[in-house]
Structure 1
């Protein structure tokens, strides 16, 4: 059994890959940073491919075609914090390409080649409500939720789940240039989020929300 995880070099993607490794899946991780990928792959004893999915997501699609995984985790993504009109347009465009276009294309290829198994699309609790200074990020994650729910209206063997993690102890805040003040005591452990996500995905759960606080937030 094979599992392909995008953004599997660090953070939540790495911990999902590790959880699947513990369940005896052959792991393939895809991300942009070759150095981080190599270190993560050594830790996981995984195969790796350095691809910038905001530019070359079709290359990742070719890997899915060749490897024909049992599990595909579309985790790669990032956020940008700040007033919309004050942000760098090129960065916003890359975020839209990565969070939406790459995820959509890889799901498309996965559904074409996978005969059985699961796809997990990583959204965010940011999809549940309007987010000040995270407008584009929240919109991309709302897309992931509605896209996945809509696909599940079409009957098929492949079950597609979507994960709505709350603030988690990863580099997301640092990379998004977003302050963490006020979030610290509510942050989730990425290992626990990964285990919960994989458990629910394998049981065929469509909507996966770790943590009682965030279940209530997303009601």
Structure 2
């Protein structure tokens, strides 16, 4: 049995190991969550998050993680769960329709997480250069997240897409924020040349950017704001 030996600045010293005491946060996601993970983690910790467990990997889809959720929810006992996927097709879909596969698997994930007592946040992904959006700037998956959130208790959509798009519509650049390195036109690149990711000069497979990425930073901060306020 673990023994608490002291409390320091919002953390518990457990047999010499400093453990955060805020709400446990569980994150599932693909490359966009991978690229923005550091900014999300930093903002989450500033907002009082405790242990953050990230189950994120580039190129994955909900079907890659759906069988992991029940055991992780039981063992980790998250208070907050974040799910952020952007539409990767995967062999585990067994050739099925992408949206229907996402609906089925994310619904299973949400059901398991809410049953375990977690508050679930579905992250709306930004439109790619090829996507069409509705009048509110939502992609087909964005509409799916709204549908699922309206069906399940303790489930909310985070419209992080708005931080890196033009009111939901794809744009490669946005006006610079005050602290950013800015071009002569007052704009900065927020999306990768592939029209999907964030890194100005992408790494393969998509991962943490090797240079400053305004898109990754804005997205990670927007996810954190949507979750923690």
Is this contact kept in 1: 2:36–2:216, CA < 8 A? yes
For residues 66-97 of structure 1, give each alpha carbon's deviation from its aligned partner in whole angstroms, at most 9, with x where no partner exists: 211011000133358xxxxxxx9x79748446
Query: Once the 2 structures are TM-superposed, how far is the Cα of residue 195 of structure 1 from its aligned partner?
Result: 2.5
Asked if 1:148 is matched to 2:149, the reply is: yes
Q: Which residue of 2 aligns with 1:113?
A: 116
Query: Which of residues 161, 178, 181 in structure 1 aligns to 2:156?
Result: 161
Which runs of structure 2 are paired with 1:181-200 in the superposition (5 Å)? 189-200=215-226
Q: Which residue of 2 aligns with 1:7?
A: 29
Which runs of structure 2 are paired with 1:2-81 in the superposition (5 Å)? 2-7=24-29, 10-13=34-37, 15-22=39-46, 23-32=48-57, 53-78=62-87
| Structure with bigger gyration radius | 2
Is this contact kept in 1: 2:85–2:125, CA < 8 A? no
Is this contact kept in 1: 2:39–2:217, CA < 8 A? yes
- TM (norm. structure 1) is 0.53
Q: Which residue of 2 aligns with 1:101?
A: 104
- TM (norm. structure 2) is 0.51
Q: Which residue of 1 aligns with 2:13?
A: none
Going from structure 1 to structure 2, the CA distance change for 1:17 and 1:97 (only over 3 Å counts) comes to farther
Cα distance in 2 between the residues matched to 1:172 and 1:111: 37
Query: Once the 2 structures are TM-superposed, how far is the Cα of residue 146 of structure 1 from its aligned partner?
Result: 1.9
* The structure with more strand, counted as a fraction of residues: 2
SS at the partner of 1:121? strand
Going from structure 1 to structure 2, the CA distance change for 1:79 and 1:146 (only over 3 Å counts) comes to same
Runs (4+) of structure 1 exceeding 4 A deviation are 170-176
Which runs of structure 2 are paired with 1:129-140 in the superposition (5 Å)? 131=132, 138-140=139-141
Is this contact kept in 2: 1:122–1:163, CA < 8 A? yes
Structure 2 residues without counterparts, runs of 5 or longer? 1-22, 166-189, 198-212
Cα distance in 1 between the residues matched to 2:45 and 2:61: 24
Going from structure 1 to structure 2, the CA distance change for 1:56 and 1:6 (only over 3 Å counts) comes to closer
Cα distance in 2 between the residues matched to 1:93 and 1:172: 29
Cα distance in 2 between the residues matched to 1:199 and 1:144: 18
